[in-house]
Amino acid sequence: MLTFTDEVIRGKIRSDLHQNADHIAFLPFDDLKESVRDDIRLLQESPLVLDVPITGYIYQVETVADVEIDLYEILEVHRGASKDEIRKAYRKAALSSHPDKVPEGEREEAEIRFKSVQQAYDILYDDEKRHLYDTHGMGAFNGSGEPGMSGGPDLDDILEQMFGMGGMGGMGGMPGMGGMPGGGPRGQRPRKSPNEEQKYEVSLEDLYKGKTVKFASTKNVICSLCKGKGGKEKATAKTCSTCHGQGYREVLTRMGQFLSQSSVPCTTCNGQGSFFSPKDKCKKCKGKKVTEEKKMLEIYVPRGTRAGDKIVLEGEADQVPGQEPGDIVFHIVEADHPTFSRAGSDLTATIDVTLAEALTGFSRVVVKHLDGRGIELTHPKVKGEVLSPGQVLKVPGEGMTMKRSDARGDLYLVVNVKFPDEKWKPSAAVLEKLKEMLPKPDPPIQADTVDEVDYDPKASLDEFGAGDPLGGSGWEDEDEEDGPQAQCTTQ
């Protein structure tokens, strides 16, 4: 059977509340819950397409009796698949359905697919959960994907979250109910307007040292003339008959095996829920209830901040009448750096040393740190030590700064030995002297037959495998070994 989310049930509760507004104040709480349950059963059991009017918005729910989501189909594996096959299929499916990998217009559907892929993996990769699923299907799990027969959402919890009325005998103080009697003293906090989410790119230097940024912001604020009413002082707004004052319509649509709910602004009232006639509109905001205001804002990026961290300016999002203002949320993005790379609280950089320095030593600044300091190394520490290409030198305490701490991570320096180029043409005597000074080569390899060959000294591994007529590459990711194979072409 199709499982309906809490949001769908909340919509049905709203429907019952509004459709029965005249007598619902006298309806016992348990009777209200039973009425809602009846509606939910109807939605789940009917094989028909239902158009259920709910305060002006339409739920279009296409349900089919006895439909069961097949977790194996979601991951595209057979029922006898091994755990390794399930893991690879999950990684492939998660990558293709990740919301960040699709255009913005497809993200809502991608989020649904991604969650279903995650749920399928969580159940099928766990031996105990997989056995329960193979034996009993999804009926063996609750809404969170954990073992335990699902009894459906708790209506007491939903009603409590929506109206602060769980277990109460009346409906007092509910929004849109005109303050009907019978309720308790608990009030409901105003809804919060949407947060504004933004990406904010910060250089590695600023993440290392910390940074304060000031910027100008333009946002909507409650109109100071009409106080967010939208009309003149004695004018009365007309409630929109299309959305019944809600300002939006909620639409539930089916996407394959999944149900998705979205809110659509009411086109009749432009999402306001009510409107004034042209002659009654506020002269300042023109009936919009809000006006634009410019304001200087300031954000502080603490030193040691990481990519993915959030910086929140509380209450600085657009203001909406009757709602608490939302927040501006900055998501930190770490800018690429030409010298350093970061992993947690550690840093890494590549240093160039000449062949002479690698063999004989040096004492100099090898890299300029993020705060402008020069980092000086003296090599060798022990007489006779040489540096090898790719060798890693660890400098304790010179890595990234940490939040709320004076400690720092470590700096890892990768040695790149620069060999002489083709312009270096020493005399035969110098080369002979070098041979005498440097370690002797290993004994020659013995073979029955020997061919002397020519070679290209400027070749690149980018060419490796390019001559394969099937177009295959020698460098194949093991995670792609089950991917699409080359197909024969027919004329």
Range with the largest mean pLDDT of 18-27, 100-109, 143-152, 320-329: 320-329
**Residue 284 pLDDT class (50, 70, 90 cuts):** very high
Please determine, for residue 219, whether its predicted confidence score (pLDDT) is greater than 50: yes
> Between 333 and 472, where is the model more confident?
333
Q: Which amino acid does the sequence have at 113?
A: R
Q: Averaged over 434-450, what is the pLDDT?
A: 89
Sign for the pseudo-dihedral over CA of 476, 478, 481, 484 = negative
Radius of gyration of the chain (CA): 34
Cα 222 to Cα 78, 177, 216, 453, distances in angstroms: 58, 25, 19, 82
pLDDT at 435: 85
pLDDT at 287: 87
CA triple 151-154-160, angle to 5 deg: 180
**Residue 144 pLDDT class (50, 70, 90 cuts):** very low
> Between 7 and 329, where is the model more confident?
329
Q: Which amino acid does the sequence have at 287?
A: G
- Mean pLDDT, the chain, rounded, equals 76
| 214-232 burial: b if 16+ Cβ within 10 Å, else e | eeeeebbebbeebebbbbe
Q: Tokens at residue 418, please? A: 């620069």
Instruction: Give me the residue label for tokens 């006895």.
Output: 66
Domains annotated for the chain, with CATH where assigned, are: 7-44 (no CATH), 71-138 (1.10.287.110), 196-237+276-335 (2.60.260.20), 340-418 (2.60.260.20)
**Residue 13 pLDDT class (50, 70, 90 cuts):** low
3-state secondary structure the chain: CCCCCHHHHHHHHHHHHHHCCCCHHHCCHHHHHHHHHHHHHHHHHCCCEEEEEECCEEEEEECCCCCCCCHHHHHCCCCCCCHHHHHHHHHHHHHHHCHHHCCHHHHHHHHHHHHHHHHHHHHHCCHHHHHHHHHHHHHHECCCCCECCCCCCCHHHHHHHHHCCCCCCCCCCCCCCCCCCCCCCCCCCCCECCCEEEEEEECHHHHHHCEEEEEEEEEEEECCCCCCCCECCCCCCEECCCCCCCCEEEEEEEECCEEEEEEEECCCCCCCCEECCHHHECCCCCCCCEEEEEEEEEEEECCCCCCCCEEEECCCCCCCCCCECCCEEEEEEECCCCCEEEECCEEEEEEEEEHHHHHHCEEEEEEECCCCCEEEEEECCCCCCCCCCCCEEEECCCCCECCCCCCECCEEEEEEEECCCCCCCCCHHHHHHHHHHCCCCCCCCCCCCCCCCCCCCCCCHHHCCCCCCCCCCCCCCHHHCCCCCCCCCCC
**Residue 167 pLDDT class (50, 70, 90 cuts):** very low
Q: Contact at 8 Å (CB) between 327 and 340? A: no
pLDDT tens-digit readout, 376-433: 999 988 888 999 999 999 999 999 999 988 899 999 999 999 998 888 888 888 888 8
pLDDT at 139: 63
**Residue 276 pLDDT class (50, 70, 90 cuts):** confident
Please determine, for residue 436, whether its predicted confidence score (pLDDT) is greater than 60: yes
- In sequence order, what are the residues at sequence separation of 6 or more whose Cβ sits closer than 8 angstroms to the Cβ of residue 450? none
**For residue 237, what are the β-bridge partners?**
none
Q: Contact at 8 Å (CB) between 326 and 196? A: yes
pLDDT at 394: 96
Cα 320 to Cα 177, 234, 297, distances in angstroms: 21, 21, 19
Closest alpha carbon to 420 in 358, 482, 344: 358
**Residue 374 pLDDT class (50, 70, 90 cuts):** very high
Q: Tokens at residue 63, please? A: 């349900």
Euclidean distance between the first and final Cα of the chain, in Å?
Answer: 48
pLDDT at 186: 42
Please determine, for residue 198, whether its predicted confidence score (pLDDT) is greater than 90: yes
- In sequence order, what are the residues at sequence separation of 6 or more whose Cβ sits closer than 8 angstroms to the Cβ of residue 253? 60, 259, 260, 262
Please determine, for residue 254, whether its predicted confidence score (pLDDT) is greater than 90: no
pLDDT at 255: 59
Q: Averaged over 30-52, what is the pLDDT?
A: 51
Q: Averaged over 208-217, what is the pLDDT?
A: 93
Q: Tokens at residue 99, please? A: 């919301």
- In sequence order, what are the residues at sequence separation of 6 or more whose Cβ sits closer than 8 angstroms to the Cβ of residue 371? 205, 208, 209
Closest alpha carbon to 309 in 194, 206, 410, 192: 206
pLDDT at 201: 96
**Residue 47 pLDDT class (50, 70, 90 cuts):** very low
| 354-376 burial: b if 16+ Cβ within 10 Å, else e | eeebbeebbeeebbebbeeeeee
15 — phi, psi (to 5°)?
Answer: -60, -50
Closest alpha carbon to 419 in 338, 359, 361: 359
Tell me if the bond preceding 147 is cis, omega within 30° of 0: no
Q: Averaged over 203-220, what is the pLDDT?
A: 94
Range with the largest mean pLDDT of 17-21, 126-130, 412-416, 428-432: 412-416
Q: Averaged over 431-441, what is the pLDDT?
A: 86
pLDDT at 15: 55
